[in-house]
A and B are shown apart, each in its own frame.
Chain A
Amino acid sequence: MSTTNPTPDVPAESGATGGLLSRLRRSTGAPADAARARRRSKHRRRMTNVAGLMAALVLTGVGYSAVAPANAADDAIASQSSAEEAGQALYERSCISCHGSNLQGVADRGPSLIGVGEAAVYFQVHTGRMPLVRQEADAVRKPAVFSDAEIDQLMAYVQANGGGPTLPSGDLRDGDVAAGGELFRLNCASCHNFVGQGGALSSGKAAPSLEDANDLEIYAAMLSGPENMPVFGDNQLSPDEKRSIIDYVQTLKEQADPGGLGIGRSGPVAEGLVIWLVGIGALLFGIFWMGTKA
């Protein structure tokens, strides 16, 4: 239960206003929710307006101290257990047929969820991979079936009954972007490509593109090793290293292409298509036009 969750001790300086406010509004208390909400403000890392940020922090702190103390303690316990119950209900409705009544899995249908932890639940459900529509070479990203609140409940249930890796808190891009790049190229690029585009694996499987992946999903994937992806435990890639990798991936995604159209950033194949279709194509038209009489 709550013992497996590290208490959401968010350092004030790393929590941005959006995250704290949303946590006040919804007061679910699950760390994933907080982290997720915090992540929403996309460019919050840009310290372009430090003064504004500080002011907002102060205001938020004041607001928090005014509202929170009254019901925070009660809520923490009450919402925890009620979240698990709600999660169990969701589980029994949508997951039980493949993963079994006690998370033990069902042969030829679904794996055991014992020990996968809330990280795996978050990744699979938030990317819409679970619930699975049909068995294929691998599950693909879809719009999520459950709302964020429901995902939190499912996570609470699985974490409480199966245990396993938990989700981090704090700024998931708080790393060294260059070091993250080195780690990404060593550990991730072989399947996900230089720029996180993904790539084909054997027999119809594929490493997905990281285009739509958010910070927490990437973190959860590394932690839980979904499907064919190897696991990158915290002793293998430390949380700092994971944050660096996420920082690198997201930096590349947000970065412009200084040389013009990126043509998918997919390298020579796209470049070859361009030179043949655009280059040779345009020149053929050109010389054809030159050859015709006025």
Chain B
Amino acid sequence: MATTAVAPGQPTTKIGKAATEIDERLIVAGPLRRSLNKVFPDHWSFLLGEIALYSFVILLLSGTYLTFFFDASMSETVYQGAYAPLRGVEMSQAYESTLALSFDVRGGLLIRQIHHWAALLFVASIVVHLVRIFFTGAFRKPRETNWMIGVVLLVLALLMGVTGYSMPDDLLSGTGLRIISAILLSIPVIGTWAHWAVFDGDYVGDAIIGRFYIVHVLILPAIILALIVVHLLLLIKQKHTQFPGPGRTEHNVVGNRLFPAFAGKATALFFIVFGLCAALGGLVQINPIWLWGPYNPAQVSAGSQPDWYIGFLDGSTRLFPAWDINLPGDYTIPALFWPTVVVAGAMFTVLALYPQLERKLTGDTASHHLLQRPRDVPVRTSVGVMALTFYGVLWMSGGNDLIADKFDISLNAMTWVGRIGMIVVPPIAYMATYRICLGLQRHDREVLEHGIETGVIRRLPSGEFIEVHQPLGPVDEHGHGQLSYGGAPVPKKMNQVGGARRAIKGFFKPIEQVSDVELGSRREQRGLAAAEAERDQLTRSGRPSEGGRPSDGGRPQDPRD
């Protein structure tokens, strides 16, 4: 011992020594351990936000590549590149450089398409993530701020998309740009001033592509990046929500530690998302601007659509009637103002303020870290489905000319279907969802009270046939279960309570011993008899104050059966 100068606990390996050197300077061991030990709850739906994050990383990587080849200039040039059907056509530098990066840069088309697919995926995954947050009540106190940041991120992602797909200056996006110009003009009082400020004059001018470019590659990404950092810091500070279940309370998080399990899966998901974007980028053609042609204000194509995430606004614009409002003094509020600025503004404002609205309406001011099952909050779930249906009708109407064409329906009829549908269908969806929620709730309580349907039919001495039910826990003298509903999924099949041994592994031939599995399942206390002790844990959430009606579930009722 005396011969070595190493103090007890000092590392002897090279890496260990290097790590000690670093920690002596930066003192990171403590924070690093705290990060590695951070527990993340394990549920597939918690990965949806990660998809959005990884799409954004892919966008940054591929977008940076594209900036080296793209020239955001509107000055005219004559194309002389590789694509013969456009050779000799006058076009802007922006369009020409996009063609060049598609056809004259080795692998450029792949990167461009990856970028565009990742953009579509970015917005789509934000929407799916938002829907998950909404329906499980994850936005409730203390997470209202993070919800609001999320909504802002969604809006910024839309702006990012619009500025991005407008940049190639092709005939499709140019048509969209024309509509953006008209929307700006439609704003009451300041419309023309706003247009002059954005376009640097009358439409189309020669500034807009360059301005969109700097907004797209510098301003918006910087804001989005900053907001994502805040979004994640808040998540880490407030810890992730979790679904109710055995041992899960408002005051803990049950799941995997960051290292290694969670980090491994997160890294895996990044590669899978990147792989998907790359595969789509190569295998499915997106925005083939060489087919659209360069922008010319006198040209247009049938079936001009925006990218999917703007489709709902295109739809609302198609459906809104021609109601210009003429004010005294010869002022006009154009009809275009309502379905674009007002509808979009109202939708995102309501969305951002929804947590506050719900707090006001329900009077629920407590902090919540346990999620809710959508069925347990039928009003919110139905409102959400109603909003999604409304959005869906608008979205469909954004492509109603293509639907009319492909399915041989009258275009005018499609417009009317949308106009009536956006008013009639959402309330129907509300009512249907509400009933479904109540039905699912009742079934949960039915199973808690009477047990799982086993499918075993028994004939009573009186001749009556009854189905045998497997109670989930202790029963009272009438045979009614005494468990109360705690917000967690109620097992409804015998297999979910260990009615069957787990499957033997191996695809072509078993690779485990049957007896091992049997022993293992006994050891793990699977199976009915073994689970006796855990029964009262099965559905309890640990929050008696809310979720379900504890007085209901196990209450003895008049003997009927």
Contact = CB atoms under 8 A, between A and B. Distances in A.
**Do A's and B's CB atoms come within 8 Å in the complex?**
yes
Interface of A: 137, 176-179, 181-182, 185-186, 189-195, 197-204, 206-207, 248, 251-252, 255, 257-263, 265-269, 271-272, 274-276, 278-280, 282-284, 286-288, 290-292
Contacts of A186: 296, 298-299
Interface stretch (B62-70, B137-145, B281-289, B338-346): B281-289
A192 B291 CA distance: 13
Contacts of B113: 259-260
Q: Is the interface of B mostly helix, strand, loop or mixed?
A: helix
Contact of B88 (A179, A199, A280): A179
A252 to B, nearest CB: 7
B117 interface: yes
Contacts of B288: 257, 259, 262, 265
Contacts of B286: 259, 271
B303 interface: yes
B85 A248 contact: yes
Contacts of A275: 117, 120-121, 124, 280, 308
B172 interface: yes
B44 interface: yes
Q: Is the interface of A mostly helix, strand, loop or mixed?
A: helix
Given A182-B89, A198-B302, A200-B405, A271 B120 contact: yes
B408 to A, nearest CB: 8
B300 A189 contact: yes
A283 B272 contact: yes
Interface string B110-126: 00010001001100110
B contact residues, range: 35 or more
Contacts of B287: 267-268, 271
Interface in B262-319: 265, 268-269, 272-273, 276, 280, 282-288, 291-293, 296, 298-308, 311
Contacts of A179: 88
B306 to A, nearest CB: 6
A134 B84 CA distance: 43
B43 interface: yes
Nearest to A201: B411
Interface stretch (B14-22, B362-370, B396-404, B483-491): B396-404
B349 interface: no
Given A261-B283, A271-B287, A286 B85 contact: no
20 contacts: A182-B89, A182-B293, A191-B302, A193-B302, A198-B302, A199-B302, A199-B405, A200-B302, A200-B404, A204-B408, A258-B102, A259-B282, A268-B306, A268-B311, A275-B117, A275-B280, A278-B280, A290-B44, A291-B43, A292-B44
B35 interface: no
Contact of A280 (B128, B291, B405, B413): B128
B83 to A, nearest CB: 9
A139 to B, nearest CB: 13
Given A190-B301, A193-B301, 5 more contacts: A186-B299, A192-B302, A199-B301, A204-B413, A269-B311
A275 B55 CA distance: 12
A196 to B, nearest CB: 10
Given A185-B296, A200-B404, A259-B286, A207 B302 contact: yes
A274 B308 CA distance: 10
B302 A268 contact: no
Nearest to B299: A185
A177 B62 CA distance: 33
Nearest 3 pairs of A and B residues by beta carbon: A199-B302, A272-B308, A291-B44
